Amino acid sequence: MNNLIRLTEHGPERVNEDLWTLALTGEEPADGPRILSLTAWLQCQPESVLSGQEPSADAVCLQPDDEAERLQPYLAVLPLIAVLFPSFRDGRGYSQAYLLRTRIGWTGELRAVGDVLRDQLSHMRQCGFDAFAVREDKSAEDAIKGLNGMSVLYGRSAIEPRPLFRRRASEC
């Protein structure tokens, strides 16, 4: 995928040579590894992958109707999880990401794909995404500016489990 931003320990970086291809219909031409829909992924994995004995060559992409909990048994074999935003106004991906990080226990790359735009990136980051495939017609360089968002978050997030009232208390 082009137009990718990835969070690293040195901060956000643009990635131009990402090998993954989002292949939700299964018909997309792909030179490298593919990100499949949950249904397709479950269908085409060999038993050794499904039983957790060897890593999968394919990544999975959750669509808004998918239950994030269904990935629980496969965390050890998945190379990457993507979450699709078919429209940036569809907020289900935020809950999926939050659950993957805080409850299901996914620690690998969590990539937002689809209608991924600058003005939502900080919310995505706070819900646990660490990679953002910015919509192709937009500038990833520009979108990076949206990552920080506000310095104050009242509630908690996937990256800051303590709400502000607990952080406030620990300061004094």
Partner 1 sequence: MYHYDEYDRALVAERVAQFRDQISRRLSGELSEEEFLPLRLQNGLYLQRHAYMLRVAIPYGTLSADQLRALASVARDFDRGYGHFTTRQNIQFNWIELEQVGDILARLAAVDMHAIQTSGNCVRNISTDAFAGVAADEVLDPRPLAEILRQWSTINPEFLYLPRKFKIALCSASEDRAAVMMHDIGLYLYRDAADEMLFDVMVGGGLGRTPILSQPIRRALPWQHLLSYVEAVLRVYNRHGRRDNKYKARIKILVKALGIDAFAREVEAEWQHIKDGPAELTRAEYERVAASFRPPSYPPQPAVDLEFGSALARDAGFARWVQRNTHAHKQPGYVSVTLSTKPGADMPPGDVTAEQMEQVALMADRFGFGEIRVAHEQNLVLPDVAKADLYALWQQACEFGLATANIGLLTDVIACPGGDYCSLANAKSIPVAQAIQQRFADLELLQDLGEISLNISGCMNACGHHHIGNIGILGVDKNGSEWYQLTIGGAQGKLSALGKVIGPAFSAEDVPEVIAQLAEVYREQRQGTERFVDTVARVGLAPFKARVYPAQEVRA
Calculate ∠ Cα 93-94-95, nearest 5°: 90
If one asks whether residue 166 binds partner 1 (CB under 8 A), the answer comes out as: yes
Query: Which of 91, 108, 109, 147 contacts partner 1 by CB under 8 A?
Result: 91
Judged on CB neighbours under 10 Å (0-12, 13-18, 19+), 102 is: middle
Determine the interface stretch with partner 1 among 38-46, 51-59, 73-81, 117-125 (rule: CB under 8 A). Answer: 117-125
Q: Which of 98, 101, 112, 116 binds partner 1 (CB under 8 A)?
A: 98
Structure tokens at 31: 């030179």
User: Min. distance of Cβ 99 from partner 1 in angstroms?
Assistant: 8
Beta-strand pair 11-15/59-62: unpaired
Q: Select 20 or 132, whichever has its Cβ closest to partner 1.
A: 132
Using CB under 8 A as the binding rule, whether residue 170 contacts partner 1 is answered as no
Q: Helical H runs in 31-147?
A: 38-44, 47-50, 92-99, 121-126, 140-143
In whole angstroms, what is the distance from residue 147 CA to residue 118 CA?
Answer: 7
168 binds partner 1 (CB under 8 A): yes
Maximum alpha-carbon separation in the chain:
58
Site string for partner 1, 38-77 (x = CB under 8 A): --------------------------x-------------
User: How near is the Cβ of 120 to partner 1 at its closest, in Å?
Assistant: 8
Is 123 an interacting residue with respect to partner 1 (CB under 8 A)? yes
The answer to whether residue 88 forms part of the interface with partner 1 (CB under 8 A) is: yes
